[in-house]
Amino acid sequence: MDFLKLLKDRHFWAFLGSGLIVSVAYMDPGNWGTSISGGANFKYELLWVVWMASGMAMLFQYLSGKMGLAGVSLAEVIKKRWKKEHAFIYWILAEIAVLATDLAEFLGIVVALNLLFGIPMLLGTIIAILDVVLILILTQKSFRALEYAFVIFVGIIGISYVYELAITQPQWEEIAINSITPSLREETIAIAVGIIGATVMPHALFVHSWLLKRKKNHTKALLKYHLVEDVASLFLAGLINAAILIMAAAAFYGKAEVASIEGAYKTLTPLYGSVASLVFGIALLSAGISSSITGMLAGQSIMEALTDFQLPLWLRRIITRVINAIPLLIAIIIGLEPLDVLVYSQILLSLLIPLPLLPLIYYTTKKEIMGELVNRKITTAIATFFAIIILIFNTYLLYSEFTALLQP
């Protein structure tokens, strides 16, 4: 592939956009929760999990987008090929995945508003529901406007973490070693599974096929555009995801008082100055808003395909927010730590990854669905291998938790 020629291709630049929308799912507040917890508690030990999960995400998103280029979304394929009652049950489970995702994004916005502006979290919960207004403004005239907005969101998050890494001065030799040295202990398995759930997110596997189905000219010629965008966008997301853990390890490891996002925010000021805290808060707010839009689009794509009823975008968004506001308000009232809520929500997402992943791998091997974009055998083999790894991680966590419950 001639990349210089590709960069001069105006059709390539017109194609770009969906990859950035999907990539935001890999740097959302859920990632912040698992990566900050992982870095603060285990330093760089779990960095290899971040890179592994990012590599998996690249391949899985490539398959999802490729299905969209074949002219169908994953949810549509399931609706057409499954019995009606099975598709309905599947929709319920898919909605649970969207809700778990939205809970983390919702909480990220609420916490960011509290840190940046001192808005009480109970009031912030109500304000965060109104992000639907921003979504409607961005999508009212052109979907392209939404894609441009994501360039800004990702830019803010990326620049923020370049700054945070520069001032925290991490240990690059340790980073290199832990990036290529897999290690897993009983103490780290929960965070490792959370990192996988926060990276290979179920809703993102649904939404990419839906986004690319919306593109015109579903032909093999667009496959190279999709491949380049997929690798570039998710590589950037992987870098940011790793940067969150690296920053947390460099700034917070060994500091018992940093057991929360609020603690991390407040700890940055005496260590590195108020600008560091401000940048941290702005990046968190950008991550929360942008990833919540991706989650909303995922929910819309699932509902449109798997059910016979339609809801206006704004109404669906408000319903999702109100549903998630209930457990969030309960958590705030009883004093649960937001960081713990974020981590547990991402563990749930990891357990739900097989829900879209297994049908995605299976149906992209079917020529009657994919046409000339059907998977090669090596692609299917690698994707299956990655899926097995995720299942092993999830099984290990469930086994560890079960045996722990049985101990006196």
Indicate if the alpha-carbon torsion angle 184, 189, 195, 197 is positive or negative. Answer: positive
Give the Cα separation of 30 and 106 in Å (integer). Answer: 10
384-393 pLDDT, tens digit per residue, is: 999 999 999 9
| Residues contacting 295, CB < 8 A, separation 6+ | 25, 98, 101, 102, 105, 203
Residue 73 — pLDDT band, cuts 50, 70, 90?
very high
Rounded mean pLDDT of 114-140?
75
Give the Cα separation of 332 and 355 in Å (integer). Answer: 30
Residue 182 — pLDDT band, cuts 50, 70, 90?
very high
The backbone region for 287, taken as left when phi is positive above 0, alpha when psi lies in -120 to 50, beta otherwise, is alpha
What is the pLDDT, as a whole number, of residue 40? 86
Residue 171 — pLDDT band, cuts 50, 70, 90?
very high
Structure tokens at 161: 């973490």
306, 88 in Cβ contact below 8 A?
A: yes
Give the Cα separation of 266 and 346 in Å (integer). Answer: 24
15-40 pLDDT, tens digit per residue, is: 878 888 888 888 888 788 888 888 88
Give the Cα separation of 191 and 393 in Å (integer). Answer: 11
Nearest residue to 194 via CA among 368, 314, 360, 41:
41
Nearest residue to 346 via CA among 291, 285, 399:
291
Structure tokens at 355: 């829900």
Give the Cα separation of 105 and 29 in Å (integer). Answer: 6
User: Has residue 1 got a pLDDT over 60?
Assistant: no
Nearest residue to 305 via CA among 93, 76, 91, 71:
76
32, 261 in Cβ contact below 8 A?
A: yes
Give the Cα separation of 63 and 230 in Å (integer). Answer: 10
Question: Which CATH fold would you assign to the domain 13-406?
Answer: Amino acid/polyamine transporter I (1.20.1740)
Rounded mean pLDDT of 245-267?
77
* Number of separate helices (H) and strands (E) present in the chain: 21, 0
CA end-to-end distance (rounded Å), the chain: 61
User: Has residue 256 got a pLDDT over 60?
Assistant: no
Parse the chain into domains and list their residue ranges: 13-406
Give the Cα separation of 79 and 77 in Å (integer). Answer: 5
Structure tokens at 122: 């109970």
Share of the chain above pLDDT 70, in %: 87
What is the pLDDT, as a whole number, of residue 187? 87
Buried b (16+ CB within 10 A) or exposed e, 309-323: eeeebeebbeebbee
What is the pLDDT, as a whole number, of residue 405? 72
158, 236 in Cβ contact below 8 A?
A: yes
312-343 pLDDT, tens digit per residue, is: 766 766 776 677 667 666 766 776 676 677 78
102-122 pLDDT, tens digit per residue, is: 777 778 888 888 888 888 887
What is the pLDDT, as a whole number, of residue 180? 93
